[in-house]
């Protein structure tokens, strides 16, 4: 605001919230112009006060806009600098474009009480794609892709460079079930472009998304928001912020920041990127894709031998489906597992880098050797989503370290190796894998109204119960189909010719020998060994031979020797261990060690 007393002795009846002169129109717009073909428009300033007032228009400091005037309403030059109440003073705005682009300038109006601006805007030719309001898909099987292709035309006067992307509505974060091709395209004026929108519903629900079409200034680049928005309260876009500057701080006296902005005044304006949004709608549903059984029970199987069972996948739908056997129930668990693997790899990388730097310090690394190159460091950090090994290790070891050339090479090799391992961990398919069960085929496809038979092989590596669940992920089903695999591994089986031995009275220090046989009655070779007993007479027994191997159906003769130097009752259990079996072969021994008879 300016002080009215400095310019006039007559008070004003116009409230401070409104200027003394109202511009008509509130903003001057130019359209449909060509390069080097000037265009003109008329700007009127009406005195809304009850007394004559003066007004001045600051000449534009740009080569693209010029002003002539003032004139009266009849177009004659104004003879008196004062404007009568209720009358208008006219100015002619001349626009001289250098190219068919957008231009912007703020024309400063100075009255006896305030300063305000009138926007001058020139809008060049625009591109306009005939996008639909919405794209709706028919009900689609879960995890099965559906595509809609349609043509859009550029009905504008300029070539269109657009970036196309899909997103969830309302700025919600997450994976959008819709995709679009191409991602970036150029459409000449009057030309056409084919868009392909794909829909892959992850669940059997209704899904909604948005196709965002951003009009770019250049291919692959965004424009900057530089165009001022017009005022919405009817004041014609007049910025009272400029009107509030004090005397001597108008356009005639600019600060450093204003001088920096002076170069861009009147230059082609870079408009805010226009954005068109298309609504995307679709629904997913489960199809009739089922397993013949949810449980496979295998017979007891000897170690290293194999048992097989089959299960069928039936596709009763109208679409072919792809399938894959997974170890985990859903994708979220898989992502958590991948995250744990990546975290472990990062810990390992930092540990290796710390060891390399520590060795370099002990070896007397020179400060002149320098650090890792910034390019290698940044590449590694970008690939891992974190800091480099050198930077993180320096921080953990409390200061800047200067590795030697050899240490620097080792660090770079560590970066590359762990970068590869992280990428492999992120791209891992995590198909079903188990040491005892094998499913064939692990992945593939089934045609519509067809079946796929799977062969499940059980090869136990250790004795005992085996119980695991495999999950079949198929297109057309929201949830993975579980298949419980239940079996038992059986180790080698062997028996003694007798399992109890009553030795009676045994004279102390005397030697007793007993013969027996060990039979392999199982279906696999048996490796056995005599383990003795845990009682007080455990050191009094000796088995010959102490160990061996029995083929299927084979037996071995054993000799048990007993000799004790202590008196007492013998109640021992000799154990024969079988490799790979949880059940040892016991032999119960009974007797009485007595003193010699006189």
pLDDT digits (tens, 9 = 90+) for 265-316: 455 554 567 899 999 999 999 999 999 999 999 999 998 899 999 999 999 9
Query: Per mean pLDDT, which range of 45-59, 143-157, 346-360 is the poorest?
Result: 346-360
Give the CB-side neighbour count of residue 91, counting CA atoms within 13 A: 25
What pLDDT score was predicted for residue 247?
A: 31
Model confidence at 374, pLDDT cuts 50, 70, 90, reads: very low
Give phi and psi for 293, each to the nearest 5. -155, 150
Spatial contact of 553 and 517, defined as CB atoms under 8 Å apart: no
Alpha-carbon distance of 514 to 516, in angstroms, equals 7
Kindly tell me if the per-residue pLDDT of 39 is higher than 70: yes
- Average pLDDT for 197-220: 86
Model confidence at 473, pLDDT cuts 50, 70, 90, reads: very high
Q: Mean of the per-residue pLDDT values for the chain? A: 82
Alpha-carbon distance of 524 to 302, in angstroms, equals 7
Overall residue count recorded for the chain in this entry: 598
Alpha-carbon distance of 94 to 48, in angstroms, equals 26
Q: How far is CA 500 from CA 248, 511, 514, in A?
A: 119, 19, 12
Torsion of CA 80, 81, 86, 92, to 10 degrees: 100
Kindly tell me if the per-residue pLDDT of 594 is higher than 60: yes
Kindly tell me if the per-residue pLDDT of 513 is higher than 80: yes
> Token pair for residue 255?
């600060």
- pTM here is 0.61
What pLDDT score was predicted for residue 153?
A: 95
At 219 the three-state DSSP class reads coil
- Average pLDDT for 496-503: 89
Kindly tell me if the per-residue pLDDT of 253 is higher than 80: no
DSSP 261: H
40 forms beta bridges with 94
> Token pair for residue 377?
């460091």
- Average pLDDT for 236-257: 35
Domain 494-594 has CATH 3.40.190.10: no
Portion of the chain with pLDDT greater than 90, in percent? 37
CATH code of the domain occupying 4-124+243-262: 2.60.40.10
Query: Per mean pLDDT, which range of 50-59, 390-399, 418-427, 567-576 is the poorest?
Result: 390-399
Model confidence at 426, pLDDT cuts 50, 70, 90, reads: confident
Q: Domain 289-327+431-490 belongs to what architecture?
A: Sandwich (2.60)
Portion of the chain with pLDDT greater than 70, in percent? 82
What pLDDT score was predicted for residue 148?
A: 94
Strands 140-141 and 275-285 come out as parallel
Residues of the chain with CATH 2.60.40.10: 4-124+243-262, 134-225+274-282, 289-327+431-490, 494-594
CATH code of the domain occupying 134-225+274-282: 2.60.40.10
Neighbours of 203 (CB within 10 A): 14
- Average pLDDT for 141-160: 90
446 forms beta bridges with 321
Instruction: Please report which helix (H) or strand (E) contains residue 415, including its range.
Output: helix 405-427
What pLDDT score was predicted for residue 157?
A: 84
- Average pLDDT for 226-255: 36
At 42 the three-state DSSP class reads strand
362 forms beta bridges with none
Alpha-carbon distance of 195 to 192, in angstroms, equals 10
Beta strands in 294-344 (DSSP E): 295-297, 301-302, 307-315, 321-326
At 136 the three-state DSSP class reads strand
The position carrying tokens 């309260």 is 233
DSSP string computed for 168-187: -GGG--S--SEEEE-SEEEE
Alpha-carbon distance of 473 to 418, in angstroms, equals 30
Spatial contact of 26 and 238, defined as CB atoms under 8 Å apart: yes
Model confidence at 2, pLDDT cuts 50, 70, 90, reads: low
At 20 the three-state DSSP class reads coil
- pLDDT tens per residue, range 156-206: 888 889 999 999 998 888 889 999 999 999 999 899 999 999 999 998 889
Model confidence at 218, pLDDT cuts 50, 70, 90, reads: low
DSSP 227: P
Alpha-carbon distance of 63 to 438, in angstroms, equals 79
- pLDDT tens per residue, range 520-538: 998 889 988 988 777 788 8
- Closest by CA to 402, choosing from 354, 355, 366, is 366
Model confidence at 376, pLDDT cuts 50, 70, 90, reads: very low
> Token pair for residue 30?
């130019």
Model confidence at 91, pLDDT cuts 50, 70, 90, reads: very high
Model confidence at 223, pLDDT cuts 50, 70, 90, reads: very low
List Cβ neighbours of 569 (8 Å cut-off, separation of 6 or more). 591, 592, 593
Give the CB-side neighbour count of residue 268, counting CA atoms within 13 A: 12
Asked if the peptide bond before residue 86 counts as cis, ω within 30 degrees of 0, the response is no
């Amino acid at each position: 605001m300016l002080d009215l007393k400095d310019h006039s002795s007559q008070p004003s009846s116009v409230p401070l919230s409104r200027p003394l002169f109202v511009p008509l129109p509130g903003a001057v717009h130019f359209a449909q112009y060509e390069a080097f073909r000037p265009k003109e428009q008329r700007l009127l300033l009406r005195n809304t006060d009850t007394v004559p007032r003066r007004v001045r228009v600051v000449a534009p400091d740009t080569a693209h806009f010029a002003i002539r005037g003032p004139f009266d309403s009849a177009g004659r030059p104004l003879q008196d600098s004062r404007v009568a109440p209720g009358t208008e003073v006219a100015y002619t705005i001349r626009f001289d474009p250098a190219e068919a682009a957008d231009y912007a300038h703020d024309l400063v109006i100075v009255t006896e009480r305030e300063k305000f601006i009138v926007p001058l805007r020139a809008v060049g030719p625009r591109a306009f794609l005939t996008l639909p309001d919405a794209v709706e898909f028919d009900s689609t099987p879960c995890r099965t892709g559906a595509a809609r292709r349609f043509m859009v035309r550029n009905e504008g006067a300029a070539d269109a460079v657009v970036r196309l992307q899909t997103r969830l509505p309302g700025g919600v974060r997450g994976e959008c079930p819709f995709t679009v091709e191409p991602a970036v395209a150029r459409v000449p004026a009057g030309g056409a472009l084919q868009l392909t929108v794909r829909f892959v519903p992850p669940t059997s629900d209704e899904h909604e998304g948005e196709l965002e079409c951003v009009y770019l200034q250049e291919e692959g680049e965004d424009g900057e928001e530089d165009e001022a928005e017009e005022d919405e309260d009817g004041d014609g876009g007049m910025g009272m912020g400029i009107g509030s500057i004090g005397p001597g701080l108008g356009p005639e006296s600019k600060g450093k920041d204003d001088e920096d902005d002076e170069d861009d005044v009147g230059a082609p304006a870079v408009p805010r990127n226009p954005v068109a949004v298309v609504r995307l709608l679709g629904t997913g549903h489960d199809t009739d894709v089922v397993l013949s059984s949810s449980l496979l029970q295998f017979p007891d199987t000897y170690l290293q031998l194999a048992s097989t069972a089959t299960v069928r996948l039936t596709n009763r739908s109208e679409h072919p489906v792809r399938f894959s056997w997974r170890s985990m129930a859903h994708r979220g668990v898989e992502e958590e597992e991948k995250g744990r693997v990546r975290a472990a790899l990062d810990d390992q990388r930092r540990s290796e880098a710390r060891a390399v730097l520590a060795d370099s310090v002990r070896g007397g690394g020179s400060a002149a050797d320098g650090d890792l190159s910034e390019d290698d460091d940044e590449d590694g950090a970008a690939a891992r989503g974190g800091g480099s090994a050198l930077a993180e290790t320096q921080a953990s070891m409390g200061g800047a370290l200067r590795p030697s050339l050899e240490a620097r090479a080792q660090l770079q090799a560590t970066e590359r190796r762990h970068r590869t391992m992280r990428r492999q961990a992120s791209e891992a398919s995590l198909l079903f894998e188990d040491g005892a069960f094998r499913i064939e085929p692990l992945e593939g496809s089934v045609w519509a109204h067809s079946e796929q038979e799977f062969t499940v092989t059980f090869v136990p590596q250790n004795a005992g119960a085996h119980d695991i669940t495999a999950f079949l992920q198929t297109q057309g089903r929201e949830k993975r189909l579980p298949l419980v695999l239940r079996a038992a591994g059986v180790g080698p089986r062997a028996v003694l010719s007798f399992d109890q031995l009553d030795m009676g009275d045994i004279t102390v220090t005397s030697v007793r020998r007993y013969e027996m046989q060990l039979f392999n009655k199982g279906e696999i070779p048996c490796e056995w060994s005599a383990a003795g007993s845990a009682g007080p007479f455990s050191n009094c027994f000796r088995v010959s031979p102490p160990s061996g191997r029995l083929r299927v159906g084979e037996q071995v003769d054993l000799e048990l020797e007993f000799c004790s130097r202590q008196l007492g009752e013998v109640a021992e259990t000799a154990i024969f261990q079988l490799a790979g079996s949880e059940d040892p072969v016991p032999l119960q021994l009974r007797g009485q060690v007595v003193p010699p008879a006189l």
